């Protein structure tokens, strides 16, 4: 798990605020100053390392210069003059080795190997941990996983550089055996863990020193404030760990009486790692590792008793690696755990607030909400739900109180909640709900949604809204519209009849200049009356489509469509328009109300004929397909189509898709179709016909056709027309 360094909120030391943490390069003078400082430290570390060379061997017990070089090149990763750093490192290494008797050839080999070691480490760190300071980011070393990655990278770099040393020494005829190779790798890794890990820990804070503190005085004030904030008992524990560390190493290395007492020394490291700050642990590992090397170099301690100088050097370095790795891993693991606990607490607090907010929102809803489990029990119900539906705890109680709008009972399987538990998303549907005693019926609009499997066991969310007042108001308006429309038919019939009589009388009168104007006026009256009759008929049909009880019987759609097509063909011929061509596929019978379905098909076929471009022969195709007890009927045409974005709104009341295009209509035809199909439990949709025009698809319950033929057949209807009604017929009807 990788984690970035965080600073106190609101401080100028946030990672994005650091000039170099954001990826900017330091100026050349700043880079040169850093190069000089690191070169001086590296030279001191080089001399210190050469001072730990074991007598009778060319191996040093510790090589701090490798760790210093790692920190040096990590800090200068974005330097514009990195070649100066490489030159300084090479110069110090070559001169130092040559002066201390390594020989010019070996000095050159070791110099190249040191440069390769640091270059490989920095490159791999940037690739493996680009978020860390020194790898291209701003975060400090903060998890055991990252520590393990750093150790692995140090081992790879040490192996690569050690292999280079072995190859070059072999080429010049020198000896570099397995013990020397192992000691080289262990020495490089130990130095990287002790010194390099300290740099990766303290590096971000040092780089952001000016942003965090401003000056040395500011750092002193901040440090003093932090020290004063440490509890007294924790200060005592710091002192105790320090004193016990000194005592343990004295016992283990000086006053051991020849006993191998080095293994208990790790106890003080573990104590510090699990109790104290990681920065203290980093410093402790440096001091304890250095103490172990110094004691061994002066012949004190269990490792000094090893006669083989190479083995002695390897054991001393391995001890330093072990102590440092264990201490840092425990400390970083503790920090990671503490950070995870903080994040978990923050997340828990956030979730608590979110849950409280959701609870407040649900409780404030005007609509009722219930959560139903797989057993039909009510797990949750908001106050509006209790107010609207009562406090019943099971779906069975609701089943006894729920009815369809026509009064028929709703079975448990068809309840919206049961359908949602089965995985179906239930669109809003109106149902009749009584109180617990079966009285006070109200109409609820109910919808239900299944909860996802991520929530555990199957559940359903049911929403219900009381629409009793809305339905009552709408019923009153619809009833009023029906009464008015019906009462207007009688005077309208009189207007149409006497207008036609007046027109015929004018035709029989002697020619007069004023007759043309009178005929034009009567024509306008006739047109307006016809429009009014269409609107009244649509209003009556619209009201009937909602109120009249459905008489469901098996319906033969083939004969019905053939009859409607014949009537439409007669009307087109009588009006002098192109004769429509109606093609029928095999139409499965349905279980529906005959008159209502005739209205649907008549509206759809009539629209297909009417909304055809001028001079184009209407081509209408009616087909069906049966699927699982449902018949899907399709009415396709070659008309002018439906404007984009109106394929759903065309089913709204009084919506006209082709306003101003010369096509008359009231905007109620498709609304009537939608209402009838919905009352039958089906759906109706509109889409573009791939071959031009429109395609309406609606579904109805199927019925088993008696003696149905499974063969598919297409029947083209071009039926003979009937004579148009005569003037005498119209006058007779008017008089009647």
Q: What is the pLDDT of residues 587-625, one digit of tens each?
A: 889 988 887 888 888 888 888 888 787 778 888 999 999
Q: What is the mean pLDDT of the chain?
A: 76
pLDDT score at 477: 60
pLDDT score at 653: 61
Q: Is the CB of residue 289 less than 8 Å from the CB of residue 265? A: no
User: Once rounded to an integer, what is the mean pLDDT over residues 155-174?
Assistant: 76
Among the listed ranges 33-47, 242-256, 710-724, which one has the minimum average pLDDT value?
Answer: 710-724
Residue found under tokens 């929102």: 361
SS3 content of the chain, % helix, strand, coil (to 5): 60, 10, 30
Cα separation, 3 vs 20, whole angstroms: 19
pLDDT score at 622: 92
pLDDT score at 404: 78
The values of phi and psi at residue 716, to 5°, are: -90, 130
Among the listed ranges 209-223, 409-423, 438-452, 530-544, which one has the minimum average pLDDT value?
Answer: 530-544
Please determine, for residue 661, whether its predicted confidence score (pLDDT) is greater than 60.
no
Residue found under tokens 């390099």: 196
More confident residue, 165 or 486: 165
pLDDT score at 56: 56
Cross-strand pairs, 624:
633
CA 705 to chain centre: 49
User: Once rounded to an integer, what is the mean pLDDT over residues 126-144?
Assistant: 85
pLDDT band for 245, please (50, 70, 90 cuts).
Answer: confident
Q: Is the dihedral of CA 226, 229, 230, 232 positive or negative?
A: positive
0.85 exceeded by pTM: no
pLDDT score at 497: 72
Q: What is the pLDDT of residues 458-490, one digit of tens each?
A: 888 888 888 877 777 666 666 666 666 666 666
pLDDT score at 59: 64
User: Once rounded to an integer, what is the mean pLDDT over residues 240-266?
Assistant: 78
Q: Tell me which H or E stretch contains 669.
A: helix 669-679
Transcribe 491-535 into DSSP letters: HHHHHHHHHHHHHHHHHHSPP-HHHHHHHHHHHHHHHHHHHHHHH
Q: Over pLDDT 90: what percentage of the chain?
A: 4
Residue found under tokens 């991520």: 454
Q: Tell me which H or E stretch contains 633.
A: strand 630-637
Cα separation, 410 vs 427, whole angstroms: 16
């Amino acid at each position: 798990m990788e984690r970035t360094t965080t600073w106190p909120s609101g401080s100028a030391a946030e990672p994005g605020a650091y000039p170099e943490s954001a990826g900017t390069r330091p100026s050349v003078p700043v880079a040169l100053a850093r190069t000089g400082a690191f070169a001086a430290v590296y030279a001191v570390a080089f001399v210190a390392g050469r001072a730990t060379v074991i007598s009778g061997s060319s191996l040093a017990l510790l090589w701090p210069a490798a760790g210093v070089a790692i920190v040096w090149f990590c800090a200068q990763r974005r330097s514009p003059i990195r070649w100066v750093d490489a030159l300084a490192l090479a110069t110090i290494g070559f001169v130092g080795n040559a002066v201390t008797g390594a020989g010019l050839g070996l000095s050159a080999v070791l110099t190249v190997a040191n440069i390769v070691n640091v270059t490989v480490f920095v490159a791999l760190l940037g690739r493996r941990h680009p978020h860390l300071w020194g790898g291209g980011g701003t975060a400090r070393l903060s998890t055991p996983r990252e520590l393990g990655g750093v150790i692995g990278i140090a081992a790879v770099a040490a192996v690569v550089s050690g292999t280079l040393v072995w190859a070059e020494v072999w080429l010049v005829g020198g000896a570099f055996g397995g013990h020397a190779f192992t000691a080289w790798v262990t020495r490089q890794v130990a130095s990287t863990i002790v010194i390099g890990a300290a740099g990766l820990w303290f590096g971000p804070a040092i780089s952001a020193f000016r942003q965090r503190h401003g000056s040395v005085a500011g750092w002193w004030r901040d440090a003093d404030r932090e020290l004063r904030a440490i509890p007294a008992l924790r200060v005592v524990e710091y002192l105790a760990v320090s004193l016990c560390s000194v005592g343990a190493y004295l016992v283990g290395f000086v006053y051991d009486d020849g006993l191998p007492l080095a293994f208990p020394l790790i106890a003080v490291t573990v104590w510090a790692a699990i109790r104290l700050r990681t920065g203290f642990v980093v410093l402790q590992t440096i001091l304890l590792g250095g103490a172990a090397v110094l004691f061994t170099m002066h012949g004190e301690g269990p490792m000094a008793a090893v006669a083989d100088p190479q083995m002695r050097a390897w054991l001393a370095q391995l001890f330093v690696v072990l102590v440092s790795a264990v201490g840092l891993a425990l400390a970083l693991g503790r920090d990671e755990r503490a950070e995870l606990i903080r994040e978990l607490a923050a997340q828990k607090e956030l979730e608590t607030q979110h849950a409280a907010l959701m609870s407040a929102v649900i409780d404030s809803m005007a609509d009722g909400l219930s959560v139903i489990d797989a057993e039909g029990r009510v797990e949750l119900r908001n106050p509006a739900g209790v107010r609207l539906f009562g406090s019943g705890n099971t779906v069975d109680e609701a089943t006894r109180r729920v009815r369809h709008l026509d009064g028929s009972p709703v079975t448990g399987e068809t309840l919206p909640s049961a359908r949602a538990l089965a995985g179906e998303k239930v669109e809003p549907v109106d149902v009749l709900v009584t109180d617990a005693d079966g009285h006070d019926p109200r109409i609820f609009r109910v919808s239900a949604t299944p909860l996802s499997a991520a929530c555990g066991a199957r559940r359903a969310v049911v929403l219900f809204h009381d629409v009793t007042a809305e339905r009552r108001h709408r019923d009153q308006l619809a009833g009023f519209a029906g009464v008015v429309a019906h009462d207007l038919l009688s005077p309208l019939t009189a207007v149409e009849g006497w207008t036609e009589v007046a027109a015929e009388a004018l035709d029989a009168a002697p020619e007069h200049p004023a007759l043309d104007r009178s005929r034009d006026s009567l024509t306008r009256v006739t047109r307006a009356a016809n429009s009014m009759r269409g609107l009244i008929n649509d209003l009556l049909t619209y009201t009937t489509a909602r109120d009249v009880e459905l008489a469901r019987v098996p319906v033969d759609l083939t004969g019905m469509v053939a009859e409607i097509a014949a009537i439409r063909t007669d009307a087109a011929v009588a009006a002098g328009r192109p004769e429509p061509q109606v093609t029928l596929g095999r139409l499965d019978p349905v279980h529906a109300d005959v008159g209502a379905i005739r209205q649907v098909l008549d509206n759809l076929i009539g629209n297909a004929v009417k909304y055809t471009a001028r001079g184009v022969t209407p081509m209408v195709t009616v087909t069906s397909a049966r699927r699982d007890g449902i018949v899907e009927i399709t009415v396709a045409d070659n008309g002018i189509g439906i404007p984009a974005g109106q394929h759903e709104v065309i089913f709204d009341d009084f919506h006209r898709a082709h306003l101003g295009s010369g096509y008359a209509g009231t905007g109620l035809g498709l609304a009537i179709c939608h209402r009838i199909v919905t009352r039958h439990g089906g759906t109706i949709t509109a889409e573009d016909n791939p071959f031009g025009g429109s395609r309406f698809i609606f579904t109805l319950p199927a019925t088993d056709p008696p003696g149905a033929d499974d063969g598919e057949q297409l029947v083209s209807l071009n039926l003979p027309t009937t004579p148009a009604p005569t003037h005498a017929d119209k006058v007779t009807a008017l008089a009647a």
